[in-house]
Amino acid sequence: MNHDVMITCAITGDDTKVTKSPYCAVTPADIAASAVEAAKAGAAIVHIHVRDPETGAFSMETKHYRAVVKAIRESGTDVIVNLTCGMGGYIVVGEHGLKDTPAPGSDFCTQEDRMRHVIDLCHEGKYRPDICTLDCGSLNFGDGNRAYVSTPNYLRQGAAICKDLGVKPEFEIFDTGNLWFVKQMIKEGLVVPPPLVQLCMGIAWGMPADTGHLLAMINTLPADAVWTSFAISRMQMPWAAQSVLVGGNVRVGLEDNLYLSKGVYASNAQLVSKARGIVEAMGARIIGPAEVRDRLKIG
């Protein structure tokens, strides 16, 4: 069991289903405010996606990320900022091969463009993130013809960019081969220790949210890894307990689950508070940003 637990709150995600929640933040100001509320409730890390303020659709625009990070920093709330770099990997294939591929809904671009906002903010120097995510493999993403594509060489480039910028990568793991390749990147010297690993469970068609699959992944983690696991939808809170029980940390938030209980929409702060209550009832302690920075070896 993990007795010193860090909580990550994933504020909005990129899925359009999240926008049906009255608590889904869309504008940079609202995303930042939701992140600050989550931090005050006990989240040491906030994981940020941004949206187009006019349409609510996911966005990759640096200006929106800059505005969110600026508002969080200027709030005076101490929290570790984790920016997604997962956008730009979707390919929707057509029914007729290359004749109609990529189909509408594709956003596939280079690894550098997926990380453009992180690169820009680091070069500007004022609102650089502490962490950014690398989705560590390709996956049939839900039903239909949509796939997420993240190749070995794209990931090598992403890890190298993180190393060069001094930003800690969070390796998001959706299936067994993803973790296998993270260990390969460590072997190649692309990862500054300790590696930060997020085990993402229950997302079709990756790893099912069951204890057997989780334990299999834990048993193959790098020895010095700092790791978290989460499961989506109704499994979010049971998984908070499950993760802590087998030695991990906790992620909650509207990106993964919209509800506090059946039919009752939740805010991010409420989800963090509920997870905190579960963790503390288990006899564990919630650690804050300062301890997490020390654990992750980030400035």
Q: How far is CA 24 from CA 43, 67, 132, 254, 283, in A?
A: 17, 17, 21, 7, 32
DSSP 8-state secondary structure symbol assigned to residue 193? S
Percent of the chain with pLDDT over 90: 94
List pLDDT tens digits, range 279-297.
Answer: 999 999 999 999 999 999 9
Instruction: Specify whether the CB–CB gap between 43 and 9 falls below 8 A.
Output: yes
| Domain architecture of the chain: domains with CATH | 4-296 (3.20.20.70)
pLDDT above 70 covers a percentage of the chain that reads: 100
pLDDT, position 252: 98
Taking alpha carbons only, the member of 178, 149, 1 closest to residue 88 is 149
Per-residue pLDDT, averaged over 195-212, amounts to: 95
Q: Report d(CA 144, CA 113) in Å as an integer.
A: 26
- Token code pair at residue 100: 């109609």
118, pLDDT greater than 90 = yes
Cβ atoms within 10 Å of 106's Cβ, excluding its own? 18
Q: How far apart are CA 156 and CA 164, in angstroms?
A: 12
Give pLDDT, residue 299. Answer: 79
> What is the C-alpha to C-alpha distance for residues 171 and 154, in angstroms, rounded to an integer?
13
What confidence score (pLDDT) does residue 18 get? 86
For 100-119, what is the mean pLDDT?
96
Report pLDDT for 16.
80
- 132-187 per-position pLDDT tens digit: 999 999 999 888 999 999 999 999 999 999 999 999 999 999 999 999 999 999 99
- pLDDT digit string, tens, across residues 212-263: 999 999 999 998 999 999 999 999 999 999 999 999 999 999 999 999 999 9
Residue position matching structure tokens 């070069």: 123
